[in-house]
Structures are given as C-alpha cells and as structure tokens.
C-alpha cells in the first residue's frame, strides 16, 4: 500500500469524506467535508469516486511527501500548489513523483482547501466513514508532522472537468438563505429584520461545529429554555447571548437553545469558506 508522510500539518488538516449519516440517534453527527462540492470535485479530478477520503486544510494548507508516484488534485479555496518548490496547477490533476513534497499553501481567498489523492486516503473507517469528527472525536486524529497516511489503490485515470467551478468566497458579504422555524416564535417581532439587516459578522471562534457570529443580539419574546430536541445540519441556534450560530458538519445532534431557522445545505459551502470578520446577512426564504 502506498503512503504519504506529513511534512507540515498546518493549522488544522483533517481527513474527510462524505460523512457518516444515519447515526444521529446515537448522538453521532454526520461530519464530512464542510465544502462538499469542492471535495467531490477534487475526487473527480483525481479519478476517484466522490466518497473517497480527502484532506481538508484550514487557513494555511499542509505539505506531504509521497512514497510513490501519485496523481493529486487540489480544490476549494484557491491557493498556491507546489511540487518540490515548483508551481503546479490548482484545480487540475497533477502527477507527483515518488519522494517529492506536495505543498499546499495558504488560500488567496476562502478558508478550506481539499487535497485528493488517486485511490483516496485509506485510513480505517469508523461507522462507515473516514471523516474526523471534532465534536465526538471519531475518526483519525488531525494531521501531525511525521505521520504516514495510507492511500488506496487508484481507480483509474482522471476524467478531468470541462470547467472548474469556484464560487468566490464571500469577501464582501455572506448571504445565507434562512427557512424560518421551528422556534422563530420565541423571538421578538423585529428578529427577522435584524437577521436580514447585515449587522452580523463571522466570529473567529467559528469551527467545523458551527459558524459563530458577532453583532446585534436577537431579543427573545419568551423566557425559559426548551427541553433538548434534535438538531439538523444548517440549524441556526440562538444561545443566551443572542448571537446566532449556524450548525455545520460536526454539530451536536441535540440542543436546548431555540432554533430560529435553518440554512439549506447547498448554502453551507459558502459558510465553510467565510473568513472571520466577513459580514453575514440571513435572508428569509420558504421551504
């Protein structure tokens, strides 16, 4: 089995695939790649099925040394990609020789890049997935310098892509559609206008569990707290400080704070790429 060895782990680089759905009743979130379109594209460019595991980097990339020649592809947040110091293509299949160092640099825009290797990262699956779940601790540990990662057997040549779509990360404003409910009646009548007013921004405390916001506090119209109830991907929960939190892939499966609405899943890739300080606006939509 071929391997790659971590030379530079980066701020937070984890192994991710499409996650482990179907275990919420056990308290296990779905997890998986935060920017799933970028993950799927990286696998396609590397000649893999979309459910193969990739590396998800955060803010400053990572670097690995190959044990054998391998085809790789880097997508997600645009970033410099180098092989033994020489620039190579982002968003395309690249052949990396045996013993070479693949270096994925800091993004020029966005937060998370995805690195696919032909055959996928073949760490042992847990509950059917190779994803690291930061909340429950399931899956392989985040990358550390010197750690070897096994790769699977390549599936075949890259099929390529006629175009590599890249929705620009929200440098100006992150606009998130919001389906109201189920607990929007727990908030003052002006709450929808406050959400749509654009006074929020992405908090530096955001992570794979949730996109936290700073800005105006939503005012409650009802006192007390709820019994814990199920939480879904994209739920916008409002803790006692009044600042909305958008639940991402590693979110808890239950919670007792009211959910004012839900961001549809297709919009969450943009949330995954929003830098701290990015303005946020929630636009009500119908389900």
Average pLDDT of the segment spanning 97-101:
98
Last residue of a domain, one of 150, 184, 211: 150
pLDDT tens per residue across span 196-228: 998 999 999 999 999 999 999 999 998 888 899
pLDDT in the model for residue 194: 96
Average pLDDT of the segment spanning 255-274:
95
**Global confidence as pTM:** 0.95
- 85 lies in the same domain as 200: no
Rounded Cα–Cα distance for residues 84 and 101 (Å):
5
Within-domain flag for 162: no
- 83 lies in the same domain as 180: no
H-run or E-run covering 179: strand 174-180
pLDDT tens per residue across span 55-71: 999 999 999 999 999 99
Within-domain flag for 161: no
Within-domain flag for 143: yes
Within-domain flag for 164: no
pLDDT in the model for residue 121: 98
pLDDT bucket at 162, cuts 50 / 70 / 90: low
- 212 lies in the same domain as 112: no
Find, among 276, 259, 281, the residue nearest to 195 by Cα: 281
pLDDT of 254 strictly over 80:
yes
- 76 lies in the same domain as 183: no
Within-domain flag for 166: no
- 22 lies in the same domain as 142: yes
Within-domain flag for 111: yes
pLDDT in the model for residue 39: 97
pLDDT in the model for residue 167: 55
Parent domain of 182? 174-284
How far is residue 189 CA from its own chain's centroid? 33
pLDDT bucket at 250, cuts 50 / 70 / 90: very high
CB 142 within 8 A of CB 132: yes
CB 121 within 8 A of CB 150: yes
Last residue of a domain, one of 116, 150, 184: 150
pLDDT in the model for residue 231: 95
- 50 lies in the same domain as 140: yes
**Which residues neighbour 183 within 8 Å (Cβ) at sequence distance 6 or greater?**
226, 258, 259, 260
pLDDT of 276 strictly over 60:
yes
DSSP for 53-72?
Answer: -EEE--SS-EEEEESS-EEE
- 143 lies in the same domain as 183: no
pLDDT in the model for residue 160: 72
- In this structure, what CATH number is given to the domain that contains residue 229? 2.40.100.10
pLDDT in the model for residue 163: 63
**186 in helix, strand or coil?**
helix
Within-domain flag for 93: yes
pLDDT in the model for residue 1: 79
Average pLDDT of the segment spanning 156-181:
77
pLDDT in the model for residue 35: 96
Mean pLDDT of the chain: 94
Q: How many domains does the chain have?
A: 2
- 209 lies in the same domain as 134: no
Within-domain flag for 60: yes
CB 5 within 8 A of CB 146: yes
- 90 lies in the same domain as 226: no
Rounded Cα–Cα distance for residues 199 and 286 (Å):
22
H-run or E-run covering 36: helix 36-45
- 257 lies in the same domain as 138: no
**Beta-strand pair 279-284/174-180:** parallel
Q: Distance of CA 7 to CAs 26, 63, 66, 149, Å?
A: 36, 5, 10, 11
pLDDT in the model for residue 138: 96
């Amino acid at each position: 089995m071929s391997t790659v060895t971590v030379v530079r782990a980066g701020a937070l680089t984890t192994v991710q695939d499409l996650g482990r759905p179907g275990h919420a009743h056990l308290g296990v979130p779905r997890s998986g790649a935060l920017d799933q379109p970028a993950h799927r594209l990286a696998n396609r460019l590397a000649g893999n099925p979309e459910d193969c595991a990739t590396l998800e980097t955060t803010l400053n990339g990572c670097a690995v040394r190959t044990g054998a020649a391998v085809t790789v592809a880097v997508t997600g947040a645009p970033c410099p990609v180098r092989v033994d110091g020489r620039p190579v293509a982002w968003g395309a299949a690249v052949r990396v020789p045996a013993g070479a160092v693949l270096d994925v640099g800091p993004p020029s825009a966005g937060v998370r890049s995805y690195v696919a290797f032909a055959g996928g990262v073949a760490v042992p699956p847990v509950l059917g997935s190779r994803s690291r779940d930061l909340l429950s601790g399931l899956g392989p540990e985040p990358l550390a310098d010197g750690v070897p990662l096994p790769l699977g057997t390549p599936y075949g040549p890259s099929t390529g892509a006629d175009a590599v779509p890249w929705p620009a990360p929200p440098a100006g404003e992150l606009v998130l559609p919001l389906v109201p409910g189920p607990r929007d009646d727990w908030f003052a009548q002006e709450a929808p206008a406050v959400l749509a007013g654009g006074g929020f921004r992405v908090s530096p405390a955001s992570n794979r569990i949730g996109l936290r916001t700073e800005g105006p506090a939503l005012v409650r119209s009802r006192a007390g707290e709820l019994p814990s109830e199920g939480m879904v991907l994209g739920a916008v929960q409002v803790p006692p400080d009044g600042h909305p939190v958008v639940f991402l892939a590693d979110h808890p499966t239950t919670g007792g704070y009211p959910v004012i609405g839900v961001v549809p899943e297709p919009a969450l890739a943009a949330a995954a790429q929003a830098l701290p300080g990015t303005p946020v606006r929630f636009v009500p939509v119908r389900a």
